[in-house]
């Protein structure tokens, strides 16, 4: 009987069930508006993030292209000759594993010799292998 009163009771000429329905409709309309507004803001954020991703991917492609240019062996060889004075290794500078000990002992003899004395040539007919300029080459 309580339900029958809900459908028949009137407030200022309008049934109470109609007022509850109108209130529920207003809540749903306002909720839908807020959800759509929030989703539109999120959509704008997503578009902005996708644009940033595209920009970063473009930068990555540019960096890969620049790296490929900078790592060209011909360019590195030209720069090493121009600025560091490096030259390609000649056949005279190659040695065998057995001669490495003789070259090392010849280097020790050079460091123990007086400053003005000339160092004895190595026991091998081949000169020791040089890894770079006299100043060390590691910068």
Is residue 109 pLDDT above 80, yes or no? no
Which residue's entry shows tokens 């590691």? 138
CB atoms within 10 A of CB 2: 5
Q: What is the DSSP string of 83-115?
A: II---PPPGGG---TTTHHHHHHHHHHHHHS-T
Per residue in 53-79, pLDDT (tens digit) is 999 999 999 999 999 999 999 999 999
Handedness of CA 52, 54, 55, 56 (dihedral sign): positive
User: Rounded to an integer, what distance in angstroms lies between the CA atom of residue 18 and that of residue 24?
Assistant: 10
User: Rounded to an integer, what distance in angstroms lies between the CA atom of residue 46 and that of residue 40?
Assistant: 10
Confidence category of residue 52, pLDDT binned at 50, 70, 90:
very high
Per residue in 16-50, pLDDT (tens digit) is 888 889 999 999 999 999 999 999 999 999 999 99
């Amino acid at each position: 009987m309580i339900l029958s009163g809900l459908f028949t009771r009137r407030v200022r000429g309008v049934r109470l069930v109609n007022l509850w329905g109108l209130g529920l409709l207003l809540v749903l309309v306002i909720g839908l508006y807020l959800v759509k507004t929030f989703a539109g803001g999120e959509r704008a954020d997503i578009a902005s993030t996708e644009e940033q991703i595209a920009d970063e991917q473009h930068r990555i492609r540019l960096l890969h292209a620049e790296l490929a240019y900078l790592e060209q062996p011909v360019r590195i060889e030209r720069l090493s000759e121009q600025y560091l004075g490096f030259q390609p290794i000649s056949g005279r500078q190659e040695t065998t594993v057995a001669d490495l000990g003789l070259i090392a002992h010849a280097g020790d003899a050079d460091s123990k010799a007086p400053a003005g004395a000339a160092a004895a040539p190595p026991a091998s007919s081949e000169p020791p292998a040089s890894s770079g300029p006299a100043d060390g080459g590691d910068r």
